[in-house]
Amino acid sequence: MSSERHEQLEQMIDRSLAGAGTPEEELLVEEHVDACEACQEYLSASRRAIAGLNGFSFEAGPALNAKVAAAIRLRARELEGRRANARRWAGMSVVALVLTLVGSVVDLRVGHMAAGLFDLRPMEVRQGLLALWIVPSFGLLLLFPMLPLLAAKRYGKGRML
Q: Which of 12, 29, 39, 96 binds Zn ion (CB under 5 A)?
A: 39
Q: How far is CA 113 from CA 25, 72, 107, 117, 126, in A?
A: 104, 60, 10, 6, 12
Q: Which is nearer to Zn ion, 40 or 104 (CB)?
A: 40
Q: Does 8 interact with Zn ion (rule: CB under 5 A)? A: no
Residues 87-146 interacting with Zn ion (rule: CB under 5 A): none
Contacts of 71 (CB under 8 A, 6+ apart): none
User: What percent of the residues of the chain are helix, what percent strand, and what percent coil, each to the nearest 5?
Assistant: 90, 0, 10
Q: Which of 53, 14, 54 is nearest to 33 (CA)?
A: 14
For the CB of residue 33, give the shortest distance to Zn ion in the complex, in Å: 7
For the CB of residue 14, give the shortest distance to Zn ion in the complex, in Å: 13
Q: Does 43 interact with Zn ion (rule: CB under 5 A)? A: no
For the CB of residue 48, give the shortest distance to Zn ion in the complex, in Å: 18
Q: What is the CA radius of gyration of the chain?
A: 38
Q: Which is nearer to Zn ion, 36 or 92 (CB)?
A: 36
For the CB of residue 37, give the shortest distance to Zn ion in the complex, in Å: 8
The piece of 2-10, 66-74, 96-104, 133-141 that touches Zn ion (CB under 5 A) is 2-10
Contact (Cβ atoms closer than 8 angstroms) between residue 17 and residue 33:
no
Q: Does 36 interact with Zn ion (rule: CB under 5 A)? A: yes
Helices 23-35 and 37-59: angle between axes, nearest 10 degrees: 120
Please tell me what DSSP assigns to residue 131: I
Q: Does 6 interact with Zn ion (rule: CB under 5 A)? A: yes
Q: Does 15 interact with Zn ion (rule: CB under 5 A)? A: no
Interacting residues toward Zn ion by CB under 5 A: 6, 36, 38-39
